[in-house]
Structure 1
Amino acid sequence: MSKPIPESLTVEGLRSLYLERVLNPREVMEEVVRRAERDAGMNIWITPPAMERLAPYLERLEQSGPESLPLWGIPFAVKDNIDVAGLPTTAACPDYAYEPTVHAAVVERLIAAGAIPIGKTNLDQFATGLVGTRSPYGETHNALRPELISGGSSSGSAVSVARGQAAFALGTDTAGSGRVPAALNGLVGYKPSLGAWPTRGVVPACASLDCVTVFAHSLNDACAVDAAARGAHPEDPWSRHVAVPSGSKRPSKLCLPLQAPEFFGPYASEYSAAWAKTVERLAGLGLPVHYVDTGLFSEAAAILYEGPWVAERWADLGGFIESHPGAAFPVTERVLRSGASPDYDAASVFRAIHRLQALKLEARKLLEDAVLVLPTAGGTWTREQVREQPVEANRDMGRYTNHCNLLDQCAVAVPACDAADRVPFGITFFASWEREDLIRGAAAWFSASGEPEGAFPAAAEASAAVAKESLEAPVTLVAVCGLHMRGYPLEKQMQACGARFVEEAESAPKYRFVKLPTTPAKPGMIKAARGGGAVRLELWEMPLAAFGGFAASIPAPLGIGKVELADGREVPGFICEGYAEEGAEDITALGSWRSVHN
């Protein structure tokens, strides 16, 4: 009988299942291949996952265990303008294809951390587009509604994660390609500061602005990838040292646009309502909200395609276009050739550089210890509508993203709410390049503020209370052994209280472990006077401001007491009253709640 594999693959979830020996990477890769075949008509892949290509990576992992590497056995997708040794790099142009002998720098680092590159994903050709329809390999379908665009240019990467074919995926982001597809497919899109991740082995779009990015289901997963990918590369002239954020920091204020954002497309009114709802949620975080004139961001954004920066694309790709007539997608060639306009002479470039430098200074002053919040996208389109107006629709998609790299900012796109049925709406937090701690803090704060389904009232109240305290407020460890662990239904209660996963752990061998006859079934840990066994559990860190309300919400016979760990520590955690042992199933020998479902 095949083992159940979660529909959504996550870094944290798979690591937990590997550590518990519930699954192994080969089983996961077989399911990944099956899902890719299932979704073949969605045009997600250019080089799809195949077991024969994955075999060398699996054989390497068999020489070690999941404890040995931080991303051991985690499947990831790679946008097909990023090199993977032995696989063609096409940039979605068959005539451009070549087969690299070495991995791109970020791919090499992720493999060294234990991750498995499963295939190469579809994209807007030469990463020129934000819609996901500009590819001779087919229009990538939206993961939730196939008639809608997926967003681009990192279209296949985002959809592969949203469809459960990868735990994370690499994209690139010059104008928003690592953020727009995240918003349209309900994901997190993390765009580090320029140069923080090397671009060696990446087909350039605008080399001075290009970033490698990650799509994931959570900020924690994105940060785990960042930890492996970040760092200057000695052979990459565009990389630079940008320190790993020491943690998440609450910004001193949120900057929202003074001018009401403009929305477009068939869901314009729904997007507008979703933004209004999101603004209310932001206002409830307990942070000062400042409404600012965003004209400087719009002015910077215009430089990317309506100024001389488009000539950089022509400088990188013009030779290929000229020597391969008809090889490029028609709308792609049209955009690229605009960079050859005689209007973009050297003087115009320097005028733009000088103006942009002044705008950078204004933006830095505005965002000192603060973050800017904008809709990630102002709407979406059907794929048919984009075919009818390819340039205009694409221009709209970059309205709130194009300024970011020109102004040397970092950004993270996160889901906010649903604008309509299966139409997600997302926002992006922006900060100056050296303040990635602020975007992480703001995104974590915002994500924890949503009321989870099925939350106990006390937990929901705790979520509201914790939003009024600092992210740096006192915390306590909490040991959980059942439905509050990662991947289980009550994980959202932990997140709603501002808690974060810290580590796997094991109790001292002094507990009887029982399966309570409740609906749904729950485990109970009862400390034994003699005998008993060890129980594998998780340690989470929870703000003290939320802890009291959380503990009060736990129904009998469960409660919070001191749990003794194998290393001798005693930490607050779930315990069970002794009377509940009567009528409960003894599962001490299994040693873990996850083993009950194995």
Structure 2
Amino acid sequence: MKKAEIPRELSISWLRDKYSNQELTPQELIIEIIQRSKEDADMNIWITPPDMEMIQPYLDRLTTLNPAEAPLWGIPFAIKDNIDLAGVPTTAACAEYAYTPIENAGVVERLIAAGAIPLGKTNLDQFATGLVGTRSPYGETHNALRPEMISGGSSSGPAVAVAGGQAAFALGTDTAGSGRVPAALNRLVGFKPSLGAWPTKGVVPACASLDCVTVFAHSIADVLAVDGAARGVHDDDPWSRKVPMPQAKLPAKICLPKDPLGFYGTYADEYSSAWDAAVAQLQNLNIPIEYVDAQLFAQAGAILYEGPWVAERWAALGGFIDAHPGASFPVTEKILRSGSAAEYDAASVFAAMHKLQQFKLEARKLLKDSVLVMPTCGGTWTREQVRLDPISTNRDMGRYTNHCNLLDLCALAVPAGDAAPSTPFGITLFALAEDEGLICGAAELFAAGSPASAETAGGSSSKQAAASAAAPATTLVAVCGLHMRGYPLEKQMQSCGARFIREDETAAKYRLVKLATTPAKPGLIKQQEGGAPIQLEVWEMPLEAFGGFAAAIPAPLGIGKVELRDGSEVPGFVCEAYAAADAEDVTSSGGWRHVMPL
């Protein structure tokens, strides 16, 4: 069988497809990734680069896993080097700080359990202190598209590993924007879950009360596939908390800044035009727009580095800095030591906490059922410009990001065209911690359009048109039970390369029954008269996988046309009427999630 050529843009669905068709093996993929890492060594992506001896045990383990039951089977991922991988040094980009953990970080353990393959440890702004990607003794990580430009930090290495075809996804961390800025600068999606949604056990703390583990990938579908394996309370993590899995839905409104925004850097004018183009696209989504005073977010963000929260970094790392003079990067040590200033006493901490609590209250009122959209970055810089002015350039990069964790928001950074040739622009969608579904739904809708760059506003670029033409044929599939997100058979959807599109419901013409099977399954039966709307999910599946998927469905279930509330019909799960005779009628529940909650 002809072997697949491995593209630079690795996606989870593409890899699943090639594995299932025996056109590629994980071993072959890893060999290619190792070669790429050697070819790109001067980009300073890795601290501990991919190595077959280190990776082989994870490849061997795949033979013990059923790909249908391991949603990330054979998917390679990179790890920011402030997150523990058992048996591999964690440096936080400081050799003198390094230690070798005996166990994996909580999130790494979950991803490996799901079949993912850890590749190595990537570069970062030392101690995750910076947003530029130049603050590392292991070298400045180059931007994946324009090497003279910054890559963004502190999660520089993981982002460039994904953008450069050396990982399908990568773990970063985010305290002030580190899981979003590198996404924007390297044309990626960056997902920052709500505080505590993913465990931070095994992560070198920057500000432990604000730190999040994040993910970079090429699509929203891929970051949510990773989220499905990583999310959940960890019994040994004091910062962990239960945050429900995102259920994509549209917000009641989109909030945009009412006053003109400031842009900076080499391409300030181009970034301003790209933001205008993104706003125009948002206005065409048929979601109400409200223009709000963004000063609330600027004032909250100022607390992070201009208030006593910088002392939390000193509390975590001050002992090491004092005991190892000169070991840390000069600008990093300067920032960390600022947290030891006498002005940051206990009284100042409480005063800032009280001030922040008021900001949180205002944000909750403003963002109820809503999504805030801001530029991920207001500009960018060359690496040389950052070297000459490391403090103010870094401060600018956090202008539209620093508020997020302080206000207990979730965030999703997505590409929004290019500001200039090979110079990506991106936006970030923010919502309250419990409303992750809103940023997912709005971002999916935004991405489904034709993002216009400042140069191509009003029409798709030729690259986008070519990508659309090359996209595989797909079909929508309505699922109403065990194939929905979070249920056991979601893995079947993922193994077929399907991606979640939206929550929806049927027309008010259906009966739902609970079949007497083990495990219990729902049966959706259309009525000639009467009936009720039933909640379901709409997924998109490659047509080449749809036939085999439908053929494997056991009677009395099958695939038929399901009428949705808007009158449209899509293929979906239906049930033969005879099965209702011995089944429990659960129509009044409104949907399977109410019958068999997770």
State the TM-score, normalizing by the size of structure 1. 0.78
Match for residue 531 of structure 2? none
Secondary structure of the corresponding residue to residue 72 of structure 1: coil
Contact 1:50–1:118 (CA under 8 A) maintained in structure 2: yes
CA distance in 1, matches of 2:129, 2:202: 18
Shift of 1:13: 1.4
Match for residue 51 of structure 1? 52
Match for residue 336 of structure 1? 336
Secondary structure of the corresponding residue to residue 260 of structure 2: coil
CA distance in 2, matches of 1:231, 1:449: 32
Shift of 1:105: 0.3
CA distance in 1, matches of 2:375, 2:391: 21
Shift of 1:82: 0.2
Higher mean C-alpha deviation, range 295-304 or range 564-573: 564-573
Secondary structure of the corresponding residue to residue 67 of structure 2: coil
Is 2:43 aligned against 1:63? no
Contact 2:44–2:139 (CA under 8 A) maintained in structure 1: yes
Shift of 1:5: 1.2
Match for residue 533 of structure 1? none
Query: Per-residue displacement from partner, 1:70-109 (whole Å, max 9, x unpaired)?
Result: 0000000000000000100000000000000000000000
Q: CA RMSD in A?
A: 2.8
CA distance in 2, matches of 1:108, 1:90: 19
Q: 1:542 to 1:291 in 2, by over 3 A?
A: closer
* One-letter code aligned to 1:434: E
Secondary structure of the corresponding residue to residue 312 of structure 2: helix
Contact 2:91–2:97 (CA under 8 A) maintained in structure 1: yes
1:153-232 superposed matches below 5 A = 153-232=154-233
Match for residue 564 of structure 2? none
Match for residue 270 of structure 2? 270
Contact 1:46–1:137 (CA under 8 A) maintained in structure 2: yes
Match for residue 87 of structure 1? 88
Shift of 1:240: 0.6
Match for residue 491 of structure 1? 471
Match for residue 410 of structure 2? 410
Secondary structure of the corresponding residue to residue 250 of structure 1: coil
Contact 1:494–1:500 (CA under 8 A) maintained in structure 2: no
Query: Per-residue displacement from partner, 1:337-388 (whole Å, max 9, x unpaired)?
Result: 0001111111110000000000000000000000000000000000000000
CA distance in 2, matches of 1:17, 1:297: 45
Shift of 1:175: 0.1
Secondary structure of the corresponding residue to residue 368 of structure 1: coil
CA distance in 2, matches of 1:542, 1:437: 12
1:23-422 superposed matches below 5 A = 23-245=24-246, 247-422=247-422
Query: Per-residue displacement from partner, 1:553-576 (whole Å, max 9, x unpaired)?
Result: xxxxxxx99x974535356999xx
Match for residue 14 of structure 1? 15
Secondary structure of the corresponding residue to residue 117 of structure 1: strand
* One-letter code aligned to 1:420: A
Q: 1:381 to 1:89 in 2, by over 3 A?
A: same
Shift of 1:23: 1.1
Q: Which runs of 5+ in 1 are unaligned?
A: 454-459, 461-483, 504-535, 546-559, 575-598
Q: 1:309 to 1:564 in 2, by over 3 A?
A: closer
Query: Per-residue displacement from partner, 1:2-61 (whole Å, max 9, x unpaired)?
Result: 641122111121112112222111011111101111110000000000111111001111
Secondary structure of the corresponding residue to residue 171 of structure 2: strand
* One-letter code aligned to 1:225: V
Q: 1:388 to 1:344 in 2, by over 3 A?
A: same
CA distance in 2, matches of 1:492, 1:284: 26
Q: 1:209 to 1:544 in 2, by over 3 A?
A: closer
CA distance in 1, matches of 2:249, 2:64: 39
CA distance in 1, matches of 2:337, 2:499: 54
Contact 1:265–1:379 (CA under 8 A) maintained in structure 2: yes
CA distance in 2, matches of 1:82, 1:44: 15
Secondary structure of the corresponding residue to residue 569 of structure 1: strand
Contact 1:564–1:570 (CA under 8 A) maintained in structure 2: no
Contact 2:270–2:420 (CA under 8 A) maintained in structure 1: yes
* One-letter code aligned to 1:417: G
Query: Per-residue displacement from partner, 1:475-495 (whole Å, max 9, x unpaired)?
Result: xxxxxxxxx9xx994438869
CA distance in 1, matches of 2:503, 2:316: 54
Query: Per-residue displacement from partner, 1:392-431 (whole Å, max 9, x unpaired)?
Result: 1000000000000000000000000100000000000000
Match for residue 524 of structure 1? none
CA distance in 2, matches of 1:537, 1:289: 37
CA distance in 2, matches of 1:310, 1:540: 40
Contact 1:414–1:428 (CA under 8 A) maintained in structure 2: yes
Query: Per-residue displacement from partner, 1:441-499 (whole Å, max 9, x unpaired)?
Result: 1111110112799xxxxxx9xxxxxxxxxxxxxxxxxxxxxxx9xx994438869xxx6
Identity, % of aligned pairs?
A: 64
Match for residue 426 of structure 1? 426
How many pairs are equivalent? Answer: 493
Match for residue 556 of structure 1? none
Higher mean C-alpha deviation, range 65-74 or range 104-113: 65-74
CA distance in 2, matches of 1:410, 1:282: 19
CA distance in 2, matches of 1:31, 1:119: 15
CA distance in 1, matches of 2:3, 2:68: 24
Higher mean C-alpha deviation, range 397-406 or range 1-10: 1-10
Q: Which runs of 5+ in 2 are unaligned?
A: 454-459, 461-465, 481-494, 505-545, 562-568, 572-598
1:439-454 superposed matches below 5 A = 439-450=439-450
* One-letter code aligned to 2:260: A
* One-letter code aligned to 1:334: K
* One-letter code aligned to 2:255: C
Contact 1:197–1:232 (CA under 8 A) maintained in structure 2: yes
Shift of 1:260: 1.1
Higher mean C-alpha deviation, range 2-11 or range 154-163: 2-11
CA distance in 1, matches of 2:436, 2:408: 12
Shift of 1:436: 0.3
Query: Per-residue displacement from partner, 1:175-227 (whole Å, max 9, x unpaired)?
Result: 00000000000000000000000100000000000000000100110001001
CA distance in 2, matches of 1:70, 1:489: 28
Secondary structure of the corresponding residue to residue 243 of structure 2: coil
CA distance in 1, matches of 2:470, 2:434: 35
Q: 1:542 to 1:441 in 2, by over 3 A?
A: closer
CA distance in 2, matches of 1:346, 1:363: 26
Query: Per-residue displacement from partner, 1:558-595 (whole Å, max 9, x unpaired)?
Result: xx99x974535356999xxxxxxxxxxxxxxxxxxxxx
Is 2:574 aligned against 1:569? no
Shift of 1:538: 6.9
Q: 1:54 to 1:544 in 2, by over 3 A?
A: closer
CA distance in 1, matches of 2:472, 2:425: 20
Q: 1:33 to 1:251 in 2, by over 3 A?
A: same
CA distance in 2, matches of 1:59, 1:335: 44
Query: Per-residue displacement from partner, 1:317-344 (whole Å, max 9, x unpaired)?
Result: 0000000000000000000000011111
CA distance in 1, matches of 2:386, 2:229: 37
Q: 1:17 to 1:202 in 2, by over 3 A?
A: same
CA distance in 2, matches of 1:99, 1:502: 45
CA distance in 2, matches of 1:121, 1:156: 5
